[in-house]
Amino acid sequence: MKSTIKDVMSTRVIAVRQGASYKDMAAMLREQRVSAFPVLDDHNKVIGVVSESDLLTKEALEGTVPGVFTVSVTDGIVTIEGTAESTVVGRDIIEAARHVEGVVAVRDRFSHPKDT
């Protein structure tokens, strides 16, 4: 394939401010049909990038141990992999992810330690 980034990139860049809410971001991702936005500070300087996966990870895994799960998102389908503390915690995480705006489906790829 002889294509370059120029051949597939978006030229109409849509950015968000660092104070944007999760709900606004989810709506913008859906409306603009993109999977990420550059994030701007008050001086219009790019200070980062936030993706659909970042938002879903934050929302779905709120209150869990950070770094234990891998979350990927493709076309609204969330795949969560890792080891849940228990079967109940795993089910709670999956259920929380299902209720995040923009999620079409959730794939559970958890391994569960033996419940005591």
Between CA 86 and CA 114 the distance in angstroms is 7
How high is the pLDDT of residue 61? 56
How high is the pLDDT of residue 113? 64
* Residue 91 scores a pLDDT above 70: yes
| Mean pLDDT value across residues 78-102 | 80
Mind listing the domains of the chain with CATH numbers? 5-111 (3.90.1280.20)
Q: How far apart are the first and last CA of the chain?
A: 53
- The single-letter DSSP state of residue 115 is P
- Please write the tens of the pLDDT for every residue from 29-45: 878 888 788 989 999 99
- The single-letter DSSP state of residue 34 is -
Between CA 15 and CA 29 the distance in angstroms is 11
- Please write the tens of the pLDDT for every residue from 8-22: 787 888 888 988 887
- Please write the tens of the pLDDT for every residue from 41-78: 999 999 888 887 777 666 655 555 544 677 788 778 88
* Residue 85 scores a pLDDT above 70: yes
Between CA 76 and CA 105 the distance in angstroms is 7
